Structure 1
Amino acid sequence: MNFSSIETLNGSNYKKWKQDIEILLGLMYYDLAIREEESATLIEESTIEQKVKFEKWEKSNRMGLLIMKKAMTETFNGTTSVREHILKMVHTAGKLKELEVPISDQFLVHMALNSLPAKFGQLKVSYNTQKEK
């Protein structure tokens, strides 16, 4: 499997797209960010092991996001892409967290899914029927 074999996410192929992305990230050893929680922020007293783990997770997360970004459609409601829309929501949630108004990941996903146009209905159904969230 390689990147070019992944179908672009278009709303009706979410389940296959997600599975293909997970396989590709696993084969490329960039699946650490989806298998493990983000490690604690580094401080001066962090051990070399903690620094290495943080760097590996950070690289995995960055590469995973780039791969997913490339495998999504560019248009969303004629103005922005789905990717940009979701990233704006994540960015807003981060700002709220800084203001001590945290939003749970589950709620953020719920809001992102509900704000998608009707043509992404299959994506919503696929997500809601999964056992693992």
Structure 2
Amino acid sequence: MASDSHAPVASSEDTRAQTEARAAVTASLDSAGSRYDTLYQQRASDLHSNAKAIEKQEINTKKNSTALAKESAKWQKEVDKATKSLNEFGDLQNWAETMERDFLVLEETLRLVENAPEVESASGVSQWR
């Protein structure tokens, strides 16, 4: 019976060792889990903060894009006005050149008329030849 009395004691020691081992493993896992939990919670917090910052930047970018589009349209109107003015100046220049040619033709015609001899007609009216 002595051997029977040792069996429950050994079993009790095994159970206690298992319990201590289980507690040690659980504590180790809790420690590691806690470390990773803190790390991942910080990362999640950073991601959340960054998402808010990106959202604000996106709103500002849209506002700036709209303002840039308005400014671009304003400058395009100025460019169109300048182009129209240059075209009108070109038209004015063409008109002036045309007038100059007409005046040269008129001047040459008058020169020829002034230098041409007069011929009298039967009615007594001078005619140019």
The higher-RCO structure (CA 8 Å, 6+ apart) is: 1
Range into which the TM-score falls when normalised by the shorter chain: under 0.3
Q: Judging by fraction of residues, say which structure has more helix.
A: 2
Q: Judging by fraction of residues, say which structure has more strand.
A: 2
Normalised to the residue count of structure 2, the TM-score between the two structures is 0.22
